[in-house]
Each structure stands twice: as structure tokens, then as C-alpha cells.
A and B are shown apart, each in its own frame.
Chain A
Amino acid sequence: MNDVIIPDIDAIPLPAPVWLLRFLLNLTFILHIVPMNIVLGGGILTVALAWYARKKNRDDLHELASHMSNILPGAAAFTITLGVPPLLFVQVLYGPLFYTGAVLIAWFWLSVIALLLVGYYGYYWFSIKRDSEGKLPIWAGIVASIMFLTISFLYTNKMTLMIQPEKFAPMHHAEMQGFLLNAADPLVWPRWLHMLVGAIAVASLVIMIVGLVFHKKRPEYGDLAVRTGGMIFVVTTLLQLVVGVWHLLTLRSEVMWMFLGRDIVATTVLGVAILLALVAMVLVLIATRGKAVRSMTIAGTVVLAVVLVLMATVRSIVRDAYLVGKFDVTAQPTDPNWVVVVLFLALMLGGIGIVSWMTYAVVTRRGAEHMAG
């Protein structure tokens, strides 16, 4: 009964080549994790800021928390919206692993929906309502943050289970009602922590960007935001070095060695990513010292964006390495339907155009000069 059981690949051919679907999966995944990091890390940071501001009676920090809280609901909307395409592409490419992993932890996986509803409404509450003293209702932020923390843990759990199909049969034979969790897996905790610390780092850059927005009009407040965000970024990046090494060590040994020289591509991608993270840290450190604040913050953000892309690539390399000999994503029948693929891509470009136009119209207050009053 210890055979590896993996469902067969669907007999219906894929409507596009595997390389294109994988590209779309990784691209949309990267687009998804940017707002996701803001929702997860930003929520925790905003709650912490609001709590600290209240404790120390600091109105400036409370204002910063308030500005951050305004970003959270929109970020949640885009996390969900941009989460849909990677969910589609991972299912079409990795269906046998994706669905089986989900069924094994079914109730936990399904609970994501309820947690998401509470967390999402929680962020709206947190950002719109004010308590009797006119302050942010911290409890709402705490509840919402706990929801998103739990969701992130469940996702790590699921995605880690998915790449280890050898666990499927023993788990299924032990329990069929979907009450299992993959929490005892040594890979889960460091992977989750790695992602969580990363999310806080990304969100701390958002605090810096809030600072940049206000820098011209209110230099003092702008400086405070840049310094606060920058210090958090530096600390979390250093912490990430420790967590990242821990995560690397928990990988299956042949996969770990791929990143330590045995595979040139894997080693290079991870090496460059770590190096660039350090570069971003230095740039941010310079900004927090008040030197070339704008350009250093922007440069740090751009470098970190590259790090995110590289880290998503590392994630994809780990997934394929774990599945070697068990599931070959490239070995699937394909029958490309180019008309639909091109239509999708064209509509996506058109959609981005429309959203950009609307955003531009709102930012530039289009037609507002004719408004009465």
C-alpha cells in the first residue's frame, strides 16, 4: 500500500503548449503575490503601528497606520482578482496533484473561503470605521490579520503537500473526510515563515512609498514613513537570511544541493536573488539615512521586484525537482487553440488599457472642472 498513487493526466489535450501555460502561471503568480504580500505583511505592520502609536500616544504614527489601512481593502481585492489566473493555470497543468492534495485536506482548504470573507470585511471595517477616540479599531485589524495569517499557512500547507505525491496514498488510506493537515512536514514551517517574512519586507516598502507620496508636501511626515518602513525592511531582510538558510536546509537533500552548486541554473538564480536582496537592503538603508530618498527608495523597490521574480523562479525549480520521476508536467497531450489564446491575450491587453484609462481619469480628476461646487 506504499505505492505512489497519482491520478492520470486528463485525456483532453491542453489548449495551449505547456511552456506558454507555465509562463502564464508564473507571470500571474508574480502579479498575485505583490498585493498578497501587502495584504498579509501590510495588515500585520499596520496593526503593529496602530498599537504602538496608541501606546506611545504618537499621532504621526497613527496617521501612518491609517494611511496603510486605506490600502488594505483594495490590495485584498487585487490579491483575489489576480489570484484567479494562477489558480486556473495551476489546475490545468498540475490538476492530478492539485486536486488530490486539496481533497486530502478538504475542510482546511475550503475554510480558506470563510477566512477570506472575514478577513476581507475585517480590513474594510479596520480602514473605514473609527473608535470613540477617532482611532483605528485595532481589534478588527487583528482579527483580519489572523485570518490572512491562517490562510497563508493553509496555502503553504497545500502547496507543499502537492509536490510530494508520495504522501497521498498513506494520507488517504488513513482518513477520507478531509480533516488532515500537512503540518508535521518539516518543509512547511520554514517555508511559511520565509514567505511571511518576505511579505512583511514587501509591505515595509509600501510604507516607504507612502512616505515618498507625502515627502514634498509634508517632509517631516514623509521622512517618518520612509525611516519606519526602511528600518523594518532592513531588519526583515536580515531575518530572512536566517529563515532562508533554514528553509534551504530542510529541502530534500538532492534538491538542496541543486542550489548549492550541483545545478548551475538553480544556484545562479538563488545566488543572484540573495545578492540583489542585499543590494535592495543597502539602497533602502541609504534612503533611511535621508540621502537621495526618492531615487534610493525607487531603486530599492525595483531591485526587490526583480528578487520577487527570481524567488518565484526558485519556487518553480523546487516544485519540478520534487516531482522528478513522479509527475512530468511537460508530458501532456496538447492541441493548441491559437484563436482562443490570442483572443485571451488581446482582451487582457485591452483590459489593462481600460483599467489604465479609468485610473488615469480618476487620478487626473478628468472632467472635475465642470463639477458644481
Chain B
Amino acid sequence: MLLTGDLGFKVLDDYRRLRSRQFLNVGVAEQNLAAIATGLALEGHIAFTYSIGNFPTLRCLEQLRNDACYHGANVKVVAVGGGFSYGPLGFSHHATEDLAIMRALPGMTVVAPSDLWETEEATKVLAATEGCAYLRLDKSDAGRTNHAGEQFVLGKARLLRDGDAMTLIGCGGIVAELLAAADELAGEGLACRVLSHHTLTTADGEAIAAAALETGGVVTVEEHSVNGGLGGVIAEFCLENGVRPRVFRRLGLRNEFATVVGSQDYLRNRYGMGRQAIVNAVRDGIVRRAP
């Protein structure tokens, strides 16, 4: 069952036409979006809720916590417009704390895919996995990064580039910036490892430990606040498990809103998480690490 909070103009038309009995527009009422989805889930449905930005998450946070999560209901929250996807529309439409907040909910699996393949695979896996989930989509994507026969595994970071100068870890469409930065650095002879760490519920310990051991350090990049998001996930894992990357940097918003508007690309650069900022972080990390 797909429930929308009165959003998805054009986008949901095909679904609605082909699956009219599995489509429900609850209106501009996000508390009900989450609660009605829970009611449906408790009666045996797999209920996907769909809206943009912070509406299906923050606006109805308590419904997700008390109704969906506490009951372990099969509610899958889908937000389009992660990060600065709706950059020109202003701060109300920037989703830049959602990952941390959703990640704090017990039983909520959080996934931020970086490309269409990850999105498709994550959707299938989440639909087939009992319980609550948050699928955070944004308008950018990292291009087709999968190889033939690759399997998507929740909680398992995907190696997109290998290298040992530094490991760049990202989630969501901003992984495109990591790849662009890696290309630029490769031209300088700095081969960076790039990981798409799409699942934020837990860190992929194996991949992080290997990055710390085998590469010059770790730079995390997220179109999100650094508080409690991807950088937090990795940092928590490292400290709790005695994993010590020689360099550790988190790129993302630092206790701030974006108070100017602009395209997703513009805002990434303006707020220090675009290609250039990543390149600088890697260069700086390598310089400081030198004995």
C-alpha cells in the first residue's frame, strides 16, 4: 500500500493507474499519514508513506516513534528531497537533520541510496524486511555504480573506487561529489577509496576497519548535519571498537541552517560538502598526517 500526503504530482501517476487499490492520498495531514499507515500495517499491509522533505519524518515524528516503531509495524517512510534537493525553496524544504533523527528511533532502518540502482534494490529489500524503515531519496544521483550481478545488502557499504590515499565515505546522491573529488585527486596521484555507505542504522564495521588500516584516513560526506548522521555513525563505530583512522574528517552542516537558497549543487559548495571541499579535506588530511 502506498500512502501519500498529497504530494507526488505526476510522479505517482503510473503507480496510481496500475495499483489504484493500493494507493491512498490521505491529504495534507502527515500525522495521519503515519498513523493511518500504522493502522494498515497492524492489519497486515506493508504501508509505504510518501512525501517530501521533512513532512513524512519530522512533522509526524511522534507518530513514527509511538505508533510505527513501538509496535514494530511494517511502515516504510519514503522522503524525496533529501538534503538540498529543494534548495531554492528555502530552509523549510531542506531535509538536513532527518537522518540523525530517524536513526535515533529504535527499530527504524535508515537507508539513503546514492543512485537509481541502490534505490531500486533498497526498496525491494525494505519491502521484504519486517518492521519500520526510512528511505531517504534526493534529486541527485551518483550515476550507475553497480556492476553486473552485484547484490545489495542492507548495512553493507559498497566499494565504488579503490585506493589507499584516503577513504571517502558518503551516502545519498552526494556520493557523486565524492567520485568527482576522487577523480580530481587521482590526477594528482592520490588514489582514494570511495564507499557508498547507504545504510545509516549501523556502520559497516568491516569496511570501516579496513579503511582505517589500509588507507590514509577517513573523510565522511553527507548532505546533512554532521550531528548524528553518517559521520556520527562512523565515529561511534570507530571509538567503540578501537578503530583509529589516522585522519578523520566529517563534512556536512555544522549546527546551522542554510539561510541562502540555490541549487543543490550551489548549496553543497556553499556549505562545504561539494567536490572542492572534499578535495581540500583530503589534501589537508594528508599534509597534517605527514610525520
A and B form one complex? no
A residues with a Cβ closer than 8 A to B are none
B residues with a Cβ closer than 8 A to A are none
